[in-house]
Amino acid sequence: MRHRFRGMSGMQGPCWQTARFRIDLSRPRVMGIVNLTPDSFSDGGRLTTVAAALSHCERLIREGADILDLGAESTRPGSPPLPEAEERTRLLPVLRETLRLGVPVSVDSYKPAVMRAALDLGADIVNDVWALRQPGALEVVAAHGSCGVCLMHMHGEPVTMQAAPMTGDAVPQVAAFLADRVATLRGSGVDAARIVVDPGIGFGKTVEQNFALLARQPELRAAGQPLLVGWSRKSSLGAVTGLAVADRLVPSVAAALLAVERGARVLRVHDVAATVAALRVHAATISQASDAAFTAS
Ligand code: HH2
């Protein structure tokens, strides 16, 4: 088993503590999306067997994914909730296999029983679009002691969120929500190093609000935690480019890079290879910028 993160002793900068790995966030990390769903908005119905899912995960890792995010229920606007038993049936057999791949594995679920089952199997991270607001969810994460958690902002719920999106300036509202959720978790004994936050692009927000969250992303630092963002193939990118979901690679990579420029530390993406290539360009630029600064001083 390869361990990309464990054993990185002397890690000084930002990091994300997860069940098996302490992820160094001094450089941006790529979280590869693995949708085990029949109905996800951009890639549903592709990974219908454990073998297909596993081979997709292996491909994402070859392309440079630092983290895998397994989701069994679509949260696209209008999607109905999935029964818990069905979510477990889709998720757990794939999780069991992917935990052998040597990278942190995140589970995209808001149901406490599914989170508990995934953590019992050894999942590293809970990625919750409800930010642990479902009854019992916070207790599951707090009781675990070391898993990582991503707290995402969502206005309303998937079934109705786009029918009645947020009103007013989304940025301070999202920042306050995330800061409040972080404080609640900290108050329940969850160590700050375990927590990242996410503005929830597309979750009950207008196109303008989503882009305000990108333009003014540094204001979200008020939550005091590393930022994860998920722009990949989202409809706001379609709204400003006119491109169909299958053609949103370039806008997705552009948004990811803009987010990194504004401080994002984890990018949740479908297209890992292209995102990793863009990040290499970013890293090469950053290294020259700091060299220049060093030479000048
Ligand atoms: N977006 C989606 C699902 N989970 N989790 C986080 N933390 N941040 C996000 O932006 C986010 C998320 C929706 O995207 P996708 O998984 O591609 O689609 P679907 O929900 O239809 O499966």
**Cα(first)–Cα(last) distance of the chain, in Å?**
44
The whole-angstrom separation of Cα 44 and Cα 42 is 6
> Residue 294: what pLDDT?
57
Task: Give the Cα separation of 231 and 250 in Å (integer).
Answer: 11
Residue 22 scores a pLDDT above 50: yes
Average of per-residue pLDDT across 139-146: 96
101 pLDDT more than 50: yes
% the chain with pLDDT above 70 = 93
Ligand 1 centroid to residue 220 C-alpha, Å: 19
Indicate if the pLDDT at residue 273 is higher than 80: yes
Q: Catalytic residue at 234?
A: yes
Mean pLDDT for the stretch of residues 4-17? 64
Q: Judging by beta carbons within 10 Å of its beta carbon (0-12, 13-18, 19+), is residue 290 exposed, middle or buried? A: exposed
Alpha helices in 110-169, H assignment, sequence order: 112-121, 137-144
Residues with CB under 6 A from ligand 1: 33, 35, 37, 40-42, 71, 74-76, 108, 127, 129, 150, 152, 198, 200-201, 228, 230, 268
Our answer to whether residue 111 is catalytic in this structure is no
Which of 22, 90, 234, 248 does the annotation list as catalytic? 234
Q: What is the pLDDT of residue 11?
A: 53
Confidence of residue 2 (pLDDT cuts 50, 70, 90): very low
- CA nearest neighbour of 203 among 172, 229, 225, 242: 229
Which has the higher per-residue pLDDT, 296 or 252?
252
Tens-digit pLDDT profile for residues 75-84: 887 788 899 9
Residue with tokens 């987010």: 259
Task: Quote the pLDDT of residue 297.
Answer: 44
Residue ID of nearest Cα to ligand 1 atom 12: 129
- Residue pair 221/263 in contact (Cβ under 8 Å)? The answer is yes
The ligand 1 atom nearest the CA atom of 35:
22
Catalytic residue among 88, 194, 265, 268: 268
Q: Whose CA is nearest to atom 11 of ligand 1?
A: 230
Task: Assess contact for 226 and 266: CB atoms under 8 A.
Answer: yes
Question: Quick one: how far is CA 161 from the chain centroid?
Answer: 19
- pTM given for the model: 0.94
